[in-house]
Structure 1
Amino acid sequence: MAAASAVWDFFTVSVKDLRSAICKTCSSDISRGGNTNKDFNTTNLKAHLKSRHIDQYNDFLKADKKRQDALAVKKMQSTSKAKTLSIATAFEKRNKFPMDSAKAKNLNKKVMEFIALDDQPFSVVGDVGFRGLVEYMEPRYTLPSRRHLAEEFTGSHAANFISETFEKMFETWKIPKSKVHVVVRDNARNMAKAMKDSKLNSFGCTAHSLQLVIHDGVLTQPSVEKALAICRKIVGHSKHSPLAYSRLQAVQTKVKRLQQDVPTRWNSTFLMMESLLEQKHALATYAADHDLPANLTAQHWGIIENLINLLSPFEQLTRDISSSEASVADVIPSVRALRRLLSKTADTDHAVKTTKTALLESVNKRFSEYESNPTFLIATLLDPRYKDRYFNDDVKLRARAALDALVDTSAGDETHRETADEDDHPTSVEPLQKRARIDEEERERPSLYDMFEEILQEKGPQRPRTRVSEQLESFFAEATIPRNAAAVRYWQDHHQRFPALARIARKYLCAPCTSVDSERLFSSVAHVLDEKRNRLAPDKAEMLIFVKKNMHLTRK
């Protein structure tokens, strides 16, 4: 206690009662001004010295002043040292950790653990509150972007690593590479190169290509970007504020939530605009009594209406090709129909003429290679809904040439059998070459009919007719089936009439045109791995998902 105040040079604490102090000069018992340690003070002690022992009181004042001066010096020294440390620390904290430093990498790892363990979205690193918290805790650390974190999973994304991973996958599932008809991938260069290195036929997801078409042709226009930014603010206000949602719900004629869009899914942006337009009057009523974070002007509403009208066919096409029954055969006919629609003029074109032209240019750019890809050409030809009806003359020639070459390769043995059988079992329709040879042998001089044959030969030898070629001619001569009919069911019903074509159709029509259905499969993982089955090993989970997806193929 003596170190706390100079007054204790003249007093001692009572041994009998801690609430009292004993004066060293007169042995008086003086109250310490309280009943507990936190209430004790020295006021009574100082008053006793001043009233009873003036000399001792003056000595106390001198000692107390000396003590206060010492404390002040010590405080000044401590403050000066603290300021020096603060300046050094401040300069040090201005220097950010290099991204490749051990400290930054460890902090990135902790952020990834936080996202994974607490089911947080990657976008959390962009949230103002989270960024402020991290900045306060460690100013030298720079939070990485969501893109950086999403690409930070272990393992290389280089083409050679992806190619090796595919090889291991085929080995695990005991899939001969010769059985792999085609791989649907995204449009990234590393994926395209990996498939080429693996000698696997592949093509980019059609839905992704369509996303790029809309992005290039529409979503990057400044006026559209501004209108969509306001739309997102309004939807976000309704989504994140229960009070705002209940107020909007109260003025809606038909209660319906506003749709939030996802930038990587253009059709979700379309649905957002559609939901806002549907609730236009309700939003106007709401805005009359309550504040919105932003307001759509008449010009903005006009842009939204025009975009909905213009993009409706694209939204329909996106839904069609995203179906689990959609195949590569749907792409070329759909694109040709889309091009024709964009090429037609309409009364409302004056408002979207530039956008419409940009869309058409983007479609031509993104989908030009599909009409030179044999996978798409052959699949379209063998789809009884389309056949060769959606090709122009040049593309039709390429498509038929690709199919003829495939038929020649796959039906060589059958052709040999047909040729051998023709001598013993002549058909009613004989090849023109055979008839011409017989005519020449029976007559001594050429006839007019011989000239017809000669002219045909000058134009190129005519292909001998076989049962396979007859299948082709018969198939293409028949009318197409309705677009809502199932192409696979057609081949189940007609495989005996066209056996050679049915074998090829079975192979080419099995390929989907998008990766959407496989992405849906990833979403089903949440139903396989849950609280009741949270200890499943990865290989067991993979097997369960595989069985769930394919079980219907084995059940009748």
Structure 2
Amino acid sequence: MAVNQMSRLLGRVRKVVTFFHRSTTAAALLKDKQEMLQLPPHKLIQDVSTRWNSMYEMLERYLEQQAAVFSALTDKTIRRNIKDTVTLSDEDVKLAEDIIQVLKPLKMVTTLLSTEQLPTVSMIMPLKHTILESLKVSDTDTTVVKDVKHGIVSDFINRYPESDLTLVQFLHMSTALDPRFKSLPFLDETMRINIFNRLMEKILEYLSQQAQVSEEQLDMASISCDPPAKKAPISELFGKLFPVEPSTPTPKSLSQMVKEEVACYRQVPTLPVELNPLAWWKDNESQFPHVAKLAKCYLGVPATSVPSERVFSTAGDIVTAQRSSLSSENVDIMVFLKKNLKLN
């Protein structure tokens, strides 16, 4: 029943939008009505079956222009051209408003996770928790709203199942490496401790791999190393009379240093969510050198495929029928400049 109501609502809105898109007379009349009613001169949005957020945008724009649409559809200049197109009833409008309220947080999440200027993988788990909290069913919800909420929650759980320990652990560690979300308030203390313990293990694994690479490079470099430098004359004269007492600090193991560093990282205040965590790591890398190395590996992972799809779109804008003779090397350079060059 709820699915039928949603389909009927979307079908009615879609017919109205299609009518104004296809009729230049209707589009001009709608613009006049917008000016008369002092509404924004926005065009109606047609939804696309492969993009759920286009459905949200279509409903949102229709509600914004509802008065102008109704006024235009009842105008005698175009009414004779209307066949099956009808305005929404009060019940339909109320349903559309309810659906908009349910989908609005998801629209915000989609926009946020599509950014390229901030780390996004670290936001997945906090956003999942926030969305699930906002989708809790209340007694005032209608049957349709309850069904929509249940459907979204079920999809979330299927996409991020707790049984997939590798994925869940990776996402939690990515969140822990983001100074905005490292407090992990949506987890209990035991889970937080486990996440940071696993973080220390990963850091030690990473440092061990780097050490092996460094040893190999050192072995190669030692083949052509210079002989040790001779002592300065002043050292030969006074070295025995004024010997330098070697300092003997208690050496700390690498494991202990990493443990203390992670503990110190946990104690620093969290970063406000509107600030850039990459800039924070740039300023604090010297204070947490080992944690910073792992943060570079994890926070560079995008949460969605949107950034890569934008690269393909950029390449399509560059290689056109008039510029089809560009070499692949030049295309690569132009795409790189387009995506990375910041103009003041």
The TM-score by the shorter chain falls in which range?
0.7 to 0.9
Q: Does 1:402 align with 2:193?
A: no
User: Which residue of structure 1 aligns with residue 240 of structure 2?
Assistant: none
Matched to 2:280, the amino acid is Y
User: Which residue of structure 2 aligns with residue 380 of structure 1?
Assistant: 175
Q: Does 1:424 align with 2:248?
A: yes
User: Which residue of structure 2 aligns with residue 354 of structure 1?
Assistant: 147
Q: Does 1:333 align with 2:126?
A: yes
Distance 2:52 2:83 in 1: 25
User: Which residue of structure 2 aligns with residue 516 of structure 1?
Assistant: 306
Q: What are structure 2's unaligned runs of at least 5 residues?
A: 212-246
Kindly state the Cα deviation for residue 465 of structure 1 after the two structures are TM-superposed.
6.8
Q: Does 1:277 align with 2:63?
A: yes
Which deviates the most, 347-356 or 241-250? Answer: 347-356
Distance 2:171 2:326 in 1: 40
- C-alpha change, 1:292 and 1:299, in structure 2 (3 Å) is farther
Distance 2:185 2:11 in 1: 39
Distance 2:209 2:111 in 1: 42
Preserved CA contact (<8 Å) 1:327 1:509: yes
- Calculate percent identity across the aligned residue pairs: 26
**What is the SS of the residue equivalent to 1:424?**
coil
**What is the SS of the residue equivalent to 2:135?**
helix
User: Which residue of structure 1 aligns with residue 241 of structure 2?
Assistant: none
User: Which residue of structure 2 aligns with residue 440 of structure 1?
Assistant: none
Which deviates the most, 373-382 or 490-499? Answer: 373-382
Distance 2:139 2:166 in 1: 31
Decide which structure has the larger Cα Rg and report it. 1
User: Which residue of structure 1 aligns with residue 21 of structure 2?
Assistant: 239
1:215-246 deviations in Å (ceiling 9; x for gaps): xxxxx922212211221111111112111101
- C-alpha change, 1:517 and 1:486, in structure 2 (3 Å) is same
Preserved CA contact (<8 Å) 1:371 1:395: no
Matched to 1:331, the amino acid is I
- C-alpha change, 1:235 and 1:345, in structure 2 (3 Å) is same
Q: Does 1:316 align with 2:111?
A: no
| RMSD (Å) for aligned C-alpha atoms | 3.0
Q: TM-score, normalised by structure 1?
A: 0.48
Q: Does 1:474 align with 2:255?
A: no
Matched to 2:16, the amino acid is I
Distance 1:303 1:354 in 2: 13
Distance 1:311 1:251 in 2: 29
1:409-442 deviations in Å (ceiling 9; x for gaps): 2345999xxxxxxx92249xx9xxxxxxxxxxxx
Kindly state the Cα deviation for residue 354 of structure 1 after the two structures are TM-superposed.
2.8
Distance 1:249 1:497 in 2: 59
Kindly state the Cα deviation for residue 385 of structure 1 after the two structures are TM-superposed.
0.5
Distance 1:349 1:426 in 2: 68
Preserved CA contact (<8 Å) 1:237 1:293: no
Q: How many residues are paired up? A: 294
- C-alpha change, 1:368 and 1:510, in structure 2 (3 Å) is same
1:70-125 deviations in Å (ceiling 9; x for gaps): xxxxxxxxxxxxxxxxxxxxxxxxxxxxxxxxxxxxxxxxxxxxxxxxxxxxxxxx
Kindly state the Cα deviation for residue 507 of structure 1 after the two structures are TM-superposed.
1.2
Preserved CA contact (<8 Å) 1:234 1:293: no
Q: Does 1:535 align with 2:330?
A: no
**What is the SS of the residue equivalent to 1:221?**
helix
Distance 2:292 2:129 in 1: 26
Distance 1:542 1:407 in 2: 34
Preserved CA contact (<8 Å) 1:411 1:468: no
1:178-207 deviations in Å (ceiling 9; x for gaps): xxxxxxxxxxxxxxxxxxxxxxxxxxxxxx
- C-alpha change, 1:468 and 1:352, in structure 2 (3 Å) is same
Preserved CA contact (<8 Å) 2:119 2:299: no
Distance 1:525 1:487 in 2: 29
Matched to 2:58, the amino acid is M
- C-alpha change, 1:530 and 1:412, in structure 2 (3 Å) is closer
Distance 2:60 2:258 in 1: 51
Q: What are structure 1's unaligned runs of at least 5 residues?
A: 1-219, 416-422, 431-462
2:295 to 505, 517, 536: 505
User: Which residue of structure 1 aligns with residue 335 of structure 2?
Assistant: 545
Distance 1:347 1:278 in 2: 24
User: Which residue of structure 1 aligns with residue 283 of structure 2?
Assistant: 493
Matches within 5 A, 1:128-147: none
Preserved CA contact (<8 Å) 2:132 2:153: yes
Matches within 5 A, 1:65-464: 221-252=3-34, 253=37, 254=39, 255-289=41-75, 290=79, 291=82, 293-295=84-86, 296-324=88-116, 325-343=118-136, 345=138, 347-348=140-141, 352-368=145-161, 372-373=166-167, 374-393=169-188, 395-412=191-208, 424-426=248-250
**What is the SS of the residue equivalent to 1:491?**
helix
Kindly state the Cα deviation for residue 272 of structure 1 after the two structures are TM-superposed.
0.5
Matched to 2:324, the amino acid is N
- C-alpha change, 1:395 and 1:225, in structure 2 (3 Å) is farther
Distance 1:530 1:515 in 2: 24
**What is the SS of the residue equivalent to 1:343?**
coil
Kindly state the Cα deviation for residue 387 of structure 1 after the two structures are TM-superposed.
1.0
**What is the SS of the residue equivalent to 2:74?**
helix
Preserved CA contact (<8 Å) 2:46 2:54: yes
Distance 1:531 1:391 in 2: 52
- C-alpha change, 1:397 and 1:522, in structure 2 (3 Å) is same
Q: TM-score, normalised by structure 2?
A: 0.76
Kindly state the Cα deviation for residue 362 of structure 1 after the two structures are TM-superposed.
2.2
Distance 2:19 2:173 in 1: 50
Preserved CA contact (<8 Å) 2:105 2:131: yes
Higher RCO (C-alpha under 8 Å, 6+ residues apart): 2
